[in-house]
């Protein structure tokens, strides 16, 4: 069960951009094989609310259920149990309306690699009802702000570095002006400079465009740097949530790493390693 | 209402524009497929030219010319219909490989609009390929279209396209549900349709147990009608016996294919199969 920490100082009425209630998702093996194939409970009764304008960070090791939750919230998976609402809309019943409000950036920048950033983004804009006449100047402006030179915008994406591709992925999400932006480990594998640029852009996005951001990471610094509130996921369960300071105060002080260790019984790096070494 | 239709058309056009952009970037592959199409069609046409020598049959140039056109109508119509069939499934498999499938299915585009856009893109490509192949083949072998009723042929082709769109949407379910082998399953369906539809021969020569399959394949009627139109100049009333069954298959297969696809999408979301691979 999550340890709920309330922000007593805030009295204004909050709007839930995202409200998940007792969400569960399990994956069953495709076929029964002798000695293998067990059901994996990826998300096990998660309830959380992300308030409008907030940056909420889900922190957890590999395999803790972060990506499954993001995929559930982005309509790519349906929950086995529980309810998810985006700005009051049911994610299943009002799917199309929800899709207009959200966008997602995944750990892999997925594009048509032979197409340029401009071609990919014009296409993405069209899918969200943004005409090329409107999207082209916006794309140039966003990409410039993310540090991508004009000449690179028309090159096939496969010629751009991974960091640049990830920035284009963020631009794609930004282009649709989402009310709720789901970022699934957007900075994993990026160099320090690219990581910082993306983090700055994420914060600016919230501050300037009234976006609500749900971010998953297993980078403690990133969580502390960006998040208004942090939720710690462990084995598919939300075991604690609150600001970095609140978590520290309620779990014996120290750093976020110490809090993580107190709650999960291992350091985040160890948890990642153990998960990576687990036979699949 | 009109604004909404316009908006949906705009969304559907995104897929057409995307395919055109991809064709430009993969131009070398497009040339490969075009050359492959020309060469295979030409090979089939040469069977007709060489038939008298092989069988000791009549060397009457008019009969040979008719046989050439008979085979060409089959092979080029099949190429047109086959491209529609293939590309739907291949696009799903390709999007899975590129990873864009998640973004396409997350976008606020009604699935009907999405699939119609993909079909429109497919039609543009199939039509372009078929016309180019016919033009190229005509440079090498005599193609006698002096008796052809072009209007009937175009109506049949359009009807065949509609009928095949339903089948194509239905078969796209395979790569949607089976990451690794889905596309191969779709190819097997396509191969069976090729066998039973009389592309290179009359369906009456098929074994009795196989012939019922030819009745449900829209390609059977489209190819038969195309031959009547292009070889014998049959007008619309004359091709009607082949037109209405193809229309009927289309009227059944499109809603059925769409329903099947929507069911498959829900299943994929429930089981976690709507994701990238590779």
ipTM value: 0.85
Q: Residue B221: its pLDDT value, please?
A: 95
The DSSP H or E segment spanning A48 is strand A40-51
Residue B23 in any domain: the answer is yes
Mean pLDDT of B210-217: 92
- Band of the pLDDT at A192, cuts 50, 70, 90? confident
Q: What is the pLDDT of residues B145-189, one digit of tens each?
A: 888 999 999 999 999 998 889 888 998 899 888 877 888 888 898
Tokens of B231: 């070889």
**Residue A270: its pLDDT value, please?**
63
Query: Of the given ranges (A40-44, B87-91, B123-127), which has the lowest mean pLDDT?
Result: B87-91
* Residue-averaged pLDDT of chain A: 86
Confidence class for position B204, pLDDT limits 50, 70, 90:
very high
Write the residue in A76, A102, A103 that is nearest to B105 by C-beta.
A76
Q: Please say if the pLDDT value at position A34 is more than 80.
A: no
List the beta bridge partners of residue A180: A102, A212
d(CA B246, CA B231): 20
* Contact yes or no for B108 and A103 at CB 8 A: no
Mean pLDDT of chain B: 90
Strand duo A16-27 + A81-86: pairing: antiparallel
User: What would the pLDDT profile of A92-131 be if each residue is shown by its tens digit?
Assistant: 999 999 999 999 998 888 899 999 999 999 999 999 999 9
Q: Considering the domain boundaries, does residue B278 fall inside one?
A: no
Top mean-pLDDT range of A33-42, A89-98, B118-127, B180-189: A89-98
Rounded CA-CA distance A124/A107 in Å is 18
Q: How confident is the model at residue A1 (pLDDT cuts 50, 70, 90)?
A: very low
pLDDT in tens, B106-116: 999 999 999 98
For B:100-139, CB contacts with A below 8 A are: 100, 102-110
Q: Is residue B52 scored above 90 in pLDDT? A: no
A78 in contact with chain B, both atoms CB, cutoff 8 A: yes
- Is B277 domain-assigned? no
Q: Does B269 touch chain A (CB under 8 A)?
A: yes
What is the pTM for the complete model shown? 0.86
The number of distinct structural domains making up chain B is 1
Token readout for B203 is 């369906």
d(CA A169, CA A163): 10
Query: B278 exposed, middle or buried (CB, 10 Å; 0-12, 13-18, 19+)?
Result: exposed
In the 8-state DSSP scheme, what is residue A18? E
In a domain, B276, yes or no: no
With an 8 Å Cβ cutoff, is A152 touching chain B?
A: no
- DSSP letters, B23-43, are HHHTHHHHHHHHHHHHHHHHH
User: B278 vs chain A: nearest CA distance in angstroms?
Assistant: 11
Class of domain A16-27+38-82+96-108+179-277: alpha beta
pLDDT > 90 fraction of chain A, expressed in percent and rounded:
53
- Residue A35 is predicted with a pLDDT of 58
pLDDT given for residue A209 in this prediction:
81
Residues 178-217 of A with CB under 8 A from B: none
- Give me the residue from A78, A115, A127 closest to B25, CB to CB: A115
Q: Which has the closest alpha carbon to A185: A272, A84, A267, A121?
A: A272
pLDDT at residue B194, as a whole number: 93
Average pLDDT over residues A67-86: 95
- Average pLDDT of the residues in A121-145: 93
Angle, CA B167 vertex, CA B175 and CA B25 arms, to 5°: 55
pLDDT at B184: 87
Q: Confirm if B12 and B116 have CB atoms less than 8 A apart.
A: yes
Whether B248 is covered by a domain: the verdict is yes
Residue A13 confidence class, pLDDT cut points 50, 70, 90: low
Chain B residues near residue A112 by CB distance under 8 angstroms = 18, 21-22, 98, 100
The rounded distance, in Å, linking the Cα atoms of B78 and B69 is 14
pLDDT above 70 (res A280): no
Closest CA in chain B for residue A95: B108
Among the residue ranges A26-30, A39-43, B13-17, the one predicted with the least confidence is: A26-30
The answer to whether B157 and B250 are in contact (CB under 8 A) is no
Question: Closest Cα to residue B226, out of B138, B158, B165, B152?
Answer: B152
Instruction: Look at A76 and B13 and tell me if their CB atoms are within 8 Å.
Output: no
Q: Does A111 touch chain B (CB under 8 A)?
A: yes
CB proximity under 8 Å: B 170-209 to A = none
Domain housing B179: 2-271
pLDDT reading at B53 higher than 90: no
Residues 72-101 of B with CB under 8 A from A: 98-100
Q: Among residues A48, A49, A29, which one has the least CA distance to residue A40? A: A29
Q: Does A77 touch chain B (CB under 8 A)?
A: yes
Q: Does A154 touch chain B (CB under 8 A)?
A: no
Size of interface A-B (CB pairs under 8 A): 90
B58 or B248, higher pLDDT: B248
For residue A52, what are its two tokens? 């409008």
Does residue B234 form part of some domain? Answer: yes
């Amino acid at each position: 069960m999550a340890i709920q920490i309330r922000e007593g100082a805030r009295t204004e009425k909050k709007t839930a951009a995202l409200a998940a209630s007792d969400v569960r998702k399990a994956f069953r093996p495709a076929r029964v094989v002798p000695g293998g194939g067990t059901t994996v409970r990826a998300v096990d009764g998660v309830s959380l609310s992300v308030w409008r304008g907030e940056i909420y960070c889900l922190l957890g090791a590999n395999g803790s259920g972060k990506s499954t939750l993001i995929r559930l919230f982005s309509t790519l998976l349906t929950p086995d149990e529980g309810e998810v609402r985006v700005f009051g809309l049911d994610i299943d019943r009002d799917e199309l309306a929800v899709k207009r409000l959200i966008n997602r950036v995944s750990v892999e920048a997925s594009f048509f690699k032979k197409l340029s950033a401009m071609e990919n983004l014009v296409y993405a804009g069209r899918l969200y009802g943004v005409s090329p006449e409107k999207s082209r100047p916006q794309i140039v402006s966003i990409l410039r702000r993310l540090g991508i030179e004009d000449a690179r915008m028309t090159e096939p994406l496969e010629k751009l570095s991974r960091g640049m591709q990830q920035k284009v992925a963020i631009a794609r999400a930004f282009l649709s002006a989402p009310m709720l932006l789901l970022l699934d480990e957007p900075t994993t594998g990026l160099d320090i400079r690219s990581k910082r640029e993306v983090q700055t852009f994420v914060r600016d996005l919230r501050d300037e465009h009234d976006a609500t951001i749900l971010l998953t990471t297993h980078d403690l610094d990133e969580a502390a740097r960006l998040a208004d509130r942090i939720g710690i996921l462990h084995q598919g369960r939300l075991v604690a949530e609150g600001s970095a300071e609140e978590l520290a105060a309620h779990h014996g002080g120290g750093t976020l790493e110490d809090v993580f260790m107190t709650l999960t019984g291992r350091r985040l790096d160890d948890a990642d390693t153990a998960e990576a070494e687990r036979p699949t | 209402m009109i604004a909404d239709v316009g908006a949906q058309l705009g969304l559907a056009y995104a897929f057409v524009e995307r395919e055109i952009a991809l064709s430009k970037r993969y131009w070398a592959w497009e040339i490969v497929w075009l050359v492959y199409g020309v060469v295979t069609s030409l090979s089939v046409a040469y069977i007709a030219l060489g038939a008298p020598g092989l069988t000791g049959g009549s060397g009457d140039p008019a009969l040979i010319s008719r046989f050439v056109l008979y085979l060409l109508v089959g092979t080029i119509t099949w190429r047109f219909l086959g491209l529609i069939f293939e590309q739907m499934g291949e696009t799903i498999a390709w999007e899975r490989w590129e990873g864009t499938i998640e973004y396409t299915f997350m976008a606020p585009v009604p699935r009907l609009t999405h699939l119609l856009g993909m079909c429109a893109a497919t039609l543009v490509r199939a039509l372009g390929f078929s016309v180019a192949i016919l033009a190229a083949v005509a440079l090498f072998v005599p193609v006698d279209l002096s008796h052809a009723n072009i209007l009937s042929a175009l109506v049949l082709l359009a009807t065949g396209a509609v009928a095949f769109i339903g089948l194509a949407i239905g078969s796209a379910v395979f790569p949607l549900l089976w990451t690794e082998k889905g596309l191969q399953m779709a190819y097997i369906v396509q191969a069976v349709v090729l066998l039973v539809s009389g592309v290179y021969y009359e369906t009456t020569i098929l074994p009795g147990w196989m012939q019922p399959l030819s009745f449900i394949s829209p390609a059977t009627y489209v190819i038969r009608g195309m031959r009547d139109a292009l070889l014998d100049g049959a007008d619309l009333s004359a091709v009607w016996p082949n037109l209405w069954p193809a229309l009927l298959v289309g009227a059944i297969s499109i809603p059925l294919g769409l329903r099947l696809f929507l069911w498959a999408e829900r299943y994929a979301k429930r089981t976690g199969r709507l994701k990238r691979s590779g």
